[in-house]
Copies of this chain bind each other. A is one copy, B any other.
Amino acid sequence: VNSWVEVPDGSDFPLENLAMGVGHRGGGPARPHVAIGDHALDLAGISADGLLDKLVGSEFDQASLNAFLALGPSRWRAVRERLTELLDEGSGQVDRLRGHLVAREELTMVLPIEVADYVDFYSSLHHATNLGRMFRPDGEPLLPNWRHLPVGYHGRSGTVVVSGASIPRPCGLRADGDDVVFGPSRLLDIELEVGFVVGAGSERGQSVRVDDADQHVFGVVLLNDWSARDIQAFEYQPLGPFLAKSFATSISPWVVPLEALRPHFTEGPVQKPTPADYLRATRPWAIPLELEVELNATTISRTDFTDMYWTFAQQLAHTTINGASLRTGDLYGSGTVSGTDFTARGSLIELTWRGTEPLMLADGSTRTFLADGDSVTIRGWCGGNGSARIGFGEVQGTIVAAGTKESS
């Protein structure tokens, strides 16, 4: 299928994608847009112009997607169908639409959603095994709960930032032998993750069935869960990571609708032991995304999301099995995506094996953890071999120096 808007070869945003984001030009108000090739269509504009019929009210006249997401899956589908018609090469509305089309490079993107609760999982078998080996060399790498449930915890929703936001190096306490030292983190890391955006909420006291995940999840983003390993190591017992993660979490600006990825859904790995009923799906929920991480100008990791042990549908069912409600704008991360290969690991701590095996970058410099000025970019896509490429664009962040000096 082709659009009347030119979609360059290899674009992340063909007509089959219709990713949504929120951006502004100059100092104008930020408004929802839908991406098409190198352009984006102003959804507030076409809605005001009557081009979305009565499918939405003022939901696009907002600085986030939340109001639209709250409309729920049948309305998401109806709007998607209408946008597909409007952007199709056979559209009868090209002249009216052109006035609402903007080059994506002219848009300044903001956070696409007001984040309600943010949860981060830990669902890659390879990642959990690698960290277990490093931190508990004498024990079983996987803890007893890991194959029974998708381990996760709540993160800080107020510091979720959009791609391009700079990342000040966090300060905190770390152990240094028997001393405790305060200062900027020395072991600043990334975590390559995929994020899921909840559109339709649920009632407190109810649980969401794993096969109903698509009634709640609207779409998918790339996510970088910046992590300060030295702060984490000192603080995380017994209640989990806090300051090691809460300073920033970056997401990509374009939310790829689950609907665009659905044709690609596939079976994930076999799970043994068989999980509890509430985690058993009757249809496939794994998503074969290809993911890569670039540090400055060097690709340092290439991995595949298909291989994640727990699916996003299982993670959603788990989140609600205790009766916790979902809200529009809830965001959850898959956990670091690591594959079996050394080059398929999604964090520096794994890629450099806790700093013992530095990476060589294209400029000849080496890295164990991130230096000030480093730029990290994550990209991802699905399909593209004979099928439409459903891409995510990128999530990028640059480390800037901490404002505070070290002291002990």
A residues bordering B, Cβ < 8 Å?
Answer: 116-117, 119-120, 122, 135, 143-145, 148-149, 151-159, 161, 168, 170-173, 175, 180, 182, 204-207, 228, 231, 234-244, 246-248, 276-278, 318-319, 321-327, 330, 402-404, 407
Contacts and interface: CB of A to CB of B under 8 A. Distances in A.
Contacts of A151: 235, 238-239, 242
Contacts of A247: 204, 322-324
Contact of A170 (B170, B182, B323, B330): B323
Contact of A145 (B159, B234, B276): B234
Chain A contact surface mostly? loop
Given A116-B157, A243-B318, A243-B321, 7 more contacts: A149-B173, A151-B238, A154-B155, A158-B327, A170-B322, A205-B403, A247-B324
B242 A152 contact: yes
Nearest to A170: B322
A189 to B, nearest CB: 14
Contact of A239 (B161, B240, B403): B240
Contacts of A155: 154
A82 to B, nearest CB: 31
Contact of A143 (B144, B173, B237, B241): B237
How many protomers of this protein does the assembly include?
2
B161 A204 contact: yes
Contacts of A182: 276-278
A17 to B, nearest CB: 29
A172 B239 contact: no
A156 B205 contact: no
A72 B367 CA distance: 44
A143 to B, nearest CB: 5
A138 to B, nearest CB: 15
A407 B205 contact: no
Contacts of A228: 322
Contact of A325 (B144, B158, B205): B158
A204 B167 CA distance: 9
Contacts of A180: 148, 276
B240 A158 contact: no
Given A182-B276, A234-B145, A324 B204 contact: no
A94 to B, nearest CB: 42
A322 B122 contact: no
Contacts of A144: 175, 234
Contact of A154 (B175, B242, B248, B278): B242
30 contacts: A116-B158, A117-B157, A119-B242, A145-B173, A145-B234, A145-B235, A145-B237, A148-B180, A148-B234, A151-B235, A153-B153, A153-B154, A153-B239, A153-B242, A154-B155, A156-B324, A159-B204, A159-B324, A168-B204, A170-B323, A180-B276, A182-B277, A204-B248, A205-B403, A207-B404, A240-B241, A243-B318, A243-B324, A244-B322, A246-B324
A115 to B, nearest CB: 10
A145 B46 CA distance: 55
Contact of A158 (B159, B241, B324): B324
